[in-house]
Amino acid sequence: MSEKILVTGGCGFIGSNLVNKLVADGYSVSVLDDLSTGQKEYIKESLGEKNCKLTVGSITNLSLLEKLLVGVDVVIHEAAKPDVRASIDNLFVDFDTNVLGTLNVLQAMKKNKVPKIIFASSGGTVYGETEVIPTPETEPFAPISHYGASKAACEQYITSFSSLHNLEAISLRFGNIFGPPSNNGVMYDFFWKLKKDPTSLEILGNGKQVKSYLYISDCVEAHIKSLKS
């Protein structure tokens, strides 16, 4: 593959799975991650390959982004502060990294004439408590968390940049992703409890709750299809 790709948040749960797939497929991959939640260990094998390089840093650093984006063909933007509850007490946690960080990515792309961005949005938060299930892409944004608001804002900025600067942009609104190497969340707890005791399982609520889940390999495949589109 001749394309050079920058993956922000490439040591996180989704990002690391994506990086490992891209490297295995022969893409030239540059990873940017501040390692605040991601782990270098997740992409250890990929870093042993010639076509993968990690830079430890943040998307809040515009000058760093401008250097990293020289010669890049596509940005896959995964980096974000994902803790919905933390942003309740400090909304700037989401705004500084998610919104301003995304603006930095877009500004650096503009300076380096990078033509395409794939953005990891959040279908689980931008729509709020919609009653339309399954939720179509035409459903209006109605976030009820600062995190959801930040993702919606990022999408809108990306859309405006796309229009003003001839940028190809794809936003992927994922639901709840599960799979390795994640070791938390409802699905992880569900399987772990069954593994410990296959004869018993705690049911929360009335047992009729419905929630959308997507396995990590399908999430990665969505990125790959977007990359090739």
Q: Which long-range contacts (CB under 8 A, 24 or more apart) does 210-213 make?
A: 210/133, 211/175, 211/176, 211/186, 212/123, 212/124, 212/134, 212/175, 212/176, 213/175, 213/176, 213/177, 213/178, 213/187
DSSP-derived 3-state class of residue 30: strand
**Complete DSSP assignment for 187-202:** HHHHHHHHHH-TT--P
Instruction: Name the catalytic one among 42, 147, 157, 188.
Output: 147
Cα gap 3→176, rounded to integer Å: 29
147 catalytically annotated: yes
Rounded Cα distance, 102 and 71, in Å: 19
Q: Are strands 116-122 and 74-77 parallel, antiparallel or unpaired?
A: parallel
Catalytic positions: 147
